Amino acid sequence: MPQFRPVRGTHDLLPDDFRRHKWVTDTACDIAERYGFDEMAPPVFEFTPVFARTMGENSDVVTKEMYTFHSGSDEELVTLRPEFTAGICRAFVSNGLYDQAPFKVFARGPVFRYERPQKGRQRQFHQINLELLGVSDPRADIEVLAIAHHILKSLEIAENCTLYINTLGDHGCRARYKDILVAYLEPYKSELSKESQTRLYRNPMRIFDTKSERDRTIIADAPLLRDHLNDISRIFFDKVCEGLTLINIPFKLEPGLVRGLDYYTHTAFEFVTETLGAQGAVIAGGRYDGLIEQLGGRTTPGIGWAGGVERLSMMARDGSVRRRPIAFVPHGNEPQTKAFVIAQELREAGYMVEMSYSGSMKRRLARANKVNAQVALLLGEDELAKGVTTVRNMETGEQTEVPLASLIKYLDQYR
């Protein structure tokens, strides 16, 4: 028989890991709801142009990392989602949700990227995602940043994360800045890496993302966008910074933080930690006022972020507490049958019940200890004849006979 194993870049979320994973996403969802965001779930795969248009035809994700395939012989190419924003924006357009603006949604689930597996990032990994569509006011930027910071505080990792923010300006000053940046970089063209040479005229701001040390040296003295903002963009960013200060969210300005695609405007941000090594961004996002138009929709402003669940889970305190069950320990054929009926009644009344199926009394009680049961319900022929069960407190060892007719009420103290 072949030895089957997980595909490279995937991992099994076993019960303990899944509980922690679920606690992180449930915490995030709960906080998003406090700010008026509803949860939604776009499809796991979309027609490929949805991602190609929104992430950039020449981006690394589109050219190297997407899982793309034919869903049928006569159908277009489809792609497993590498991120959530594109699918949510497509849903907004295709369902004609313009009258629901501000459209405030939270999403969570798996995403897929074909890349070298790394700490906290596999080829199938998980994200939490927040999007706010239809609001151009800087208060929207402040709110989505506040939610991200609130989530990090609830996970008790905010102190280990630094919020870096930058402004990308509006379309007008950004276009002018690109010309200024290209003029600065052109004399160094032959010294730039091959990747940066490709980006020079097509998407020069992406050169700020370079991993080449030589490129970094060249770009270090480049003119900065923040020095070429128009009044509208400067005022917008000042209001975002003032709002963050007002609600006590610390941040640092990072002029090299960019988003390369033309529909990104104004605020860009990352929450970064040093506790995970080189892969430090745990939540990142920005404003994308031109994205809905890229998908054929009406002009609609938007802002959002995504967070890596695996990375957040690695940092967060362990708040994933498994409920302590009630262990049912019947012995004898008739008590076993009766216990099965009572256990179902208890579960329907809201209790978590772990049923013991076989083995000696000692072995069954050992199992009750293993699952961290609060109490064990002992039911044998004698108890059944008297219409009672023996309730054993698994911490003190104290035992009490309780009539079966009043068992549900008695167990209220163990909810």
| Percent residues over pLDDT 90 in the chain | 53
Q: Which two tokens stand for residue 29?
A: 């969802």
When pLDDT is averaged across residues 269-294 and rounded to a whole number, the result is 89
What is the rounded distance in angstroms from the CA atom of residue 289 to the CA atom of residue 26? 29
Q: What is the mean pLDDT of the chain?
A: 89
Q: What is the pLDDT of residues 157-184, one digit of tens each?
A: 999 999 999 999 998 888 888 889 899 9
Class of 15-170+230-315 per CATH?
alpha beta
| CATH code matching the domain that covers 326-414, chosen among 3.40.47.10, 3.40.50.800, 1.10.8.60, 3.40.190.10 | 3.40.50.800
| Percent residues over pLDDT 70 in the chain | 95
Let me know how long the chain is: 415
> Do residues 355 and 328 touch, judged by C-beta distance below 8 A?
yes
3-state secondary structure the chain: CCCCCCCCCCCCCCHHHHHHHHHHHHHHHHHHHHCCCEECCCCCEEEHHHHHHHHCCCCHHHHHHCCEEECCCCCCEEEECCCCHHHHHHHHHHCCCHHHCCEEEEEEEEEECCCCCECCECCEEEEEEEEEECCCCHHHHHHHHHHHHHHHHHCCCHHHEEEEEEECCCHHHHHHHHHHHHHHHHHHHHHCCHHHHHHHHHCHHHHHHCCCHHHHHHHCCCCCHHHHCCHHHHHHHHHHHHHHHHCCCCCEECCCCCCCCCCCEEEEEEEEECCCCCCCEEEEEEECCCHHHHCCCCCCCEEEEEEEHHHHHHHCCCCCCCCCCEEEEECCHHHHHHHHHHHHHHHHCCCCEEECCCCCHHHHHHHHHHCCCCEEEEECHHHHHHCEEEEEECCCCCEEEEEHHHHHHHHHHHC
Q: Which two tokens stand for residue 227?
A: 């020095």
Residue intervals in the chain for CATH 3.30.930.10: 15-170+230-315
Q: Which two tokens stand for residue 384?
A: 């059944």
At CA 361, angle to CA 359 and CA 365, rounded to 5? 100
pLDDT at 402: 93
Cα separations in angstroms, 124 against 65, 108, 109, 306, 314: 11, 13, 10, 15, 16
Q: What is the pLDDT of residues 25-77, one digit of tens each?
A: 999 999 999 999 999 999 999 999 898 887 776 666 776 788 888 877 667 88
What is the rounded distance in angstroms from the CA atom of residue 174 to the CA atom of residue 182? 12
When pLDDT is averaged across residues 372-383 and rounded to a whole number, the result is 91
When pLDDT is averaged across residues 195-204 and rounded to a whole number, the result is 84
pLDDT-based confidence at residue 275 (cuts at 50, 70, 90): confident
pLDDT-based confidence at residue 360 (cuts at 50, 70, 90): confident
248 Cβ contact list (under 8 Å, min separation 6): none
Residue intervals in the chain for CATH 3.40.50.800: 326-414
Q: Which of 117-126, 147-156, 344-353 has the lowest mean pLDDT?
A: 117-126
The number of C-alpha atoms within 13 Å of 243 and in the hemisphere containing its C-beta is: 17
pLDDT at 59: 67
pLDDT at 276: 80
pLDDT at 365: 85
> Do residues 385 and 359 touch, judged by C-beta distance below 8 A?
no
Q: Which of 55, 77, 79, 56 is nearest to 66 (CA)?
A: 79
pLDDT-based confidence at residue 388 (cuts at 50, 70, 90): very high
pLDDT at 73: 64
pTM: 0.86
pLDDT-based confidence at residue 320 (cuts at 50, 70, 90): low
Q: What is the pLDDT of residues 83-105, one digit of tens each?
A: 999 999 999 999 999 999 999 99
Choose the most confident range, by mean pLDDT, from 34-43, 207-216, 372-381.
34-43
Q: Give the number of other CB atoms < 10 A from CB of residue 413.
A: 8
When pLDDT is averaged across residues 313-319 and rounded to a whole number, the result is 82
